[in-house]
């Protein structure tokens, strides 16, 4: 088991962050080596909280997280950054660096004492940029790139960390269809060619169904279901978790495809029309 | 070209330019001394009490040193504050931190502190306390809303600056008339020769501040990703921010104590270098120190010669350059964010 959550609980403090009331309560799940695991669920189900816990931006209130069998709280930050790399939700606004400079930032945990990166750091960064197809953009400012190119540059930065677990938080949000397909293909390729273990956090059920080996469905900070996409993406379960009617079909690859029935439950319907 | 080579190349070129500017400044001034007499004074061949020796070695040379140190320190403080706040328009005077430090210095001066070594320690202590006070005020005002936007931070800085200027005016109004001239002269941002002991202290404080910033330049780059992303790359963000804040505040405070509140150097110099070198703080911090030294030295040379035998404050020159430059940055590069 590469990473494991054992009965992990977390709550944002009631004061200070009043708009983030969601919590995780006694969540247990694991990620095996070489797997692509998807975390799905409604807004504020605790998806991003999970990635923040995994990178020790926040510490669990209860339970324990393990990385390679060792408790996470005993792992030093830089060492953790060499094991777990995060592609965060949304890129930084107003980022004045070039793509090459950004990707080299991923080398920081491998030698924070160095003023400039070593030749090996440069090689790893070039290789990471080649892997995501942004090598020829290396000299350009990140702000000049299209949305899809930016996302691939940020994924290259994460790869430059040479992580064993790659965490992608909403990697296709705000991206056109083509870039969504690109990101999905890239994830599959990294997984097949490098055996990269990937944790995908996404509200896009179909992306998750298409690329993931297993899915964790979060609802209200608890695991509503965990298992193969076919088992988790089940019509009545989704309807109860998301509070709306869905239709589940099969894709060409035999994966579940979730469609919205564009109907809200009748009680809500009544409430909406009364509001009007 | 690798960043290391670019840094070395630019540093060599800038250092040569600094030497030329310093040598040039040694030869010009309100006292008319022939170039050969200056050479004689520098090489130690002038008579001990001669005018050329006193003017060159006891007036012009220390002033050149103060100008170079102050310019370098302010430029590095600018880079530090810009990276820390992720705000390209941040700068000690715009953020009101210079005004806070100046308030501290005026308190020290009204208590009778001067520039003997022991008193200079006290004076910089007051300046540092004032800088920290102003920075804390700016932070608390700006952080009250959601996020730290460029506008909010700048407005908070301007407001805090106005407040401390008013507080300084109160102190000046209560001050002994005989001391007033010197304080006002200093307050306008005036470089004057600093006695050797105090000059050494200034150099030491500037070196400490520079070291605190430059030794964290690489981590400072990562802060541009956002604090959370920096933490996820192994940066101890809280400690980093405190270190850079301490370094930049120390640089600002020491300049204000020894040379007065001089504005805009921390804005002009780093941005000029950014156009040349990009955003990498590892290149910007060292080159800004040398570039700031050149800029303030040139500005001071202009200030003390343009209306000779009278003198302008160097702060006037930097503000005349800086205000239009600020508007230029606001209208072109950062338009989208405002």
HEC sequence for B49-67: CCHHHHHHHHHHHHHHHHH
CA distance A47 to A45: 6
d(CA B234, CA A111): 10
Asked if the model's pLDDT at residue B193 lies above 90, the reply is no
Q: Which residue has the higher pLDDT, B238 or A269?
A: B238
Asked whether the predicted pLDDT for residue A234 surpasses 80, the reply is yes
Structure tokens at B30: 């309100």
Contact A105 B222 (CB under 8 A): yes
**Tell me, what's the ipTM?**
0.89
Rounded CA gap, A71 and A59, in Å?
A: 12
List, in order of start, the domains of chain B with CATH numbers: 3-337 (1.10.3470.10)
Residue in the block written with tokens 């994966």: A255
Rounded CA gap, A141 and A133, in Å? 16
Per-residue model confidence as pLDDT tens digits over B19-46: 999 999 988 877 778 888 888 888 888 7
Q: Which chain B residues are closer than 8 Å to A113 by Cβ?
A: none
Tell me whether residues B222 and A108 touch, CB distance under 8 A: yes
Tell me the chain B residues in contact with residue A112 when contact means C-beta distances shorter than 8 Å: 218-219, 234-235
Nearest to B262 by CA among B182, B189, B168, B206: B189
Mean pLDDT of chain A: 88
What value does the mean pLDDT of chain B take?
90
Q: How far is CA A275 from CA A117, A242, A271, in A?
A: 60, 22, 6
pLDDT digits (tens, 9 = 90+) for B268-281: 999 999 999 999 99
Positive or negative, the CA dihedral B94, B95, B99, B101 is negative
Q: Is A101 within 8 Å of B231 when comparing Cβ atoms?
A: no
pLDDT bucket at B336, cuts 50 / 70 / 90: very low
Q: Looking at chain A, which residue has its C-alpha nearest residue B229?
A: A88
* Shortest Cα distance, chain A CAs vs residue B18, angstroms: 25
- Evaluate if residue B201 carries a pLDDT over 90: yes
Residue B313 has a pLDDT of: 87
Q: In this complex, is the C-beta atom of A73 within 8 Å of any C-beta atom belonging to chain B?
A: no
């Amino acid at each position: 088991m590469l990473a494991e959550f054992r009965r992990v609980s977390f709550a944002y403090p009631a004061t200070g962050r009043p708009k983030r009331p969601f919590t995780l309560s006694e969540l247990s799940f694991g990620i095996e080596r070489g797997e692509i695991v998807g975390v799905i669920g409604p807004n504020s189900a605790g998806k991003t909280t999970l990635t923040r816990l995994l990178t020790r931006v926040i510490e669990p209130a209860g339970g324990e997280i393990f990385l390679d069998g060792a408790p996470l709280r005993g792992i030093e930050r830089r060492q953790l950054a060499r094991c777990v790399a995060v592609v965060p939700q949304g890129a930084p606004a107003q980022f004045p660096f070039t793509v090459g400079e950004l990707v080299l930032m991923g080398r920081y945990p491998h030698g924070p004492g160095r003023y400039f990166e070593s030749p090996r750091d440069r090689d790893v960064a070039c290789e990471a940029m080649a892997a995501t197809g942004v090598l020829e953009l290396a000299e350009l400012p990140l702000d000049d790139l299209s949305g899809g190119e930016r996302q691939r540059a940020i994924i290259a930065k994460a790869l430059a960390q040479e992580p064993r677990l790659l965490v992608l938080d909403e990697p296709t949000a705000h991206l056109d269809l083509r870039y969504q397909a690109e990101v999905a293909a890239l994830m599959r390729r990294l997984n097949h060619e490098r055996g990269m273990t990937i944790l995908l956090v996404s509200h896009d059920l179909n992306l998750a169904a298409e690329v993931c080996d297993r899915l964790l469905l979060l609802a209200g900070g608890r695991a509503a279901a965990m298992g193969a996409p076919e088992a988790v993406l089940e019509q009545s379960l989704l309807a109860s978790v998301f509070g709306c009617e869905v239709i589940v079909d099969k894709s060409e690859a035999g994966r579940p495809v979730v469609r919205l029935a564009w109907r809200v439950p009748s009680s809500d319907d009544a409430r909406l029309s009364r509001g009007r | 070209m690798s960043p290391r080579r670019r840094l070395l190349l630019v540093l060599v070129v800038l250092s040569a330019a600094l030497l030329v500017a310093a040598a040039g400044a040694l030869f010009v001034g309100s006292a008319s001394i022939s170039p050969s007499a200056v050479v004689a004074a520098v090489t130690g061949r002038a008579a001990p009490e001669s005018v050329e020796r006193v003017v060159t070695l006891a007036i012009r040379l220390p002033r050149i040193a103060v100008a170079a140190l102050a310019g370098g320190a302010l430029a590095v403080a600018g880079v530090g504050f810009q990276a820390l706040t992720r705000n390209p328009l941040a700068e000690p005077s715009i953020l009101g931190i210079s005004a806070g430090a100046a308030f501290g210095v005026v308190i020290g001066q009204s208590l009778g502190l001067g520039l003997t070594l022991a008193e200079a320690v006290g004076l910089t202590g007051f300046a540092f306390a004032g800088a920290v006070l102003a920075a804390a005020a700016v932070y608390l005002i700006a952080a009250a809303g959601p996020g730290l936007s460029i506008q909010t931070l700048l407005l908070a800085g301007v407001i805090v600056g106005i407040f401390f200027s008013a507080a300084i005016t109160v102190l000046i109004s209560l001050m002994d008339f005989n001391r007033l001239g010197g304080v006002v002269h200093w307050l306008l941002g005036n470089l004057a020769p600093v006695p050797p002991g105090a000059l050494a202290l200034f150099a030491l404080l500037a070196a400490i501040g520079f070291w605190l910033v430059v030794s964290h330049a690489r981590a400072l780059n990562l802060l541009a990703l956002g604090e959370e992303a920096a933490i996820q790359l192994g940066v101890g963000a809280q400690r980093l921010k405190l270190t850079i804040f301490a370094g930049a505040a120390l640089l600002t405070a020491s300049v204000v104590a020894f040379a007065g509140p001089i504005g805009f150097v921390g804005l002009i110099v780093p941005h000029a270098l950014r156009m040349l070198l990009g955003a990498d703080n590892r290149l910007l911090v060292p080159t800004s120190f040398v570039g700031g030294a050149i800029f303030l030295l040139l500005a001071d040379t202009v200030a003390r010669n343009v209306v000779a035998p009278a003198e302008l404050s160097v702060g006037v020159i930097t503000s005349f350059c800086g205000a239009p430059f600020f508007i230029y940055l606001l209208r072109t590069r950062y338009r989208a964010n405002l």
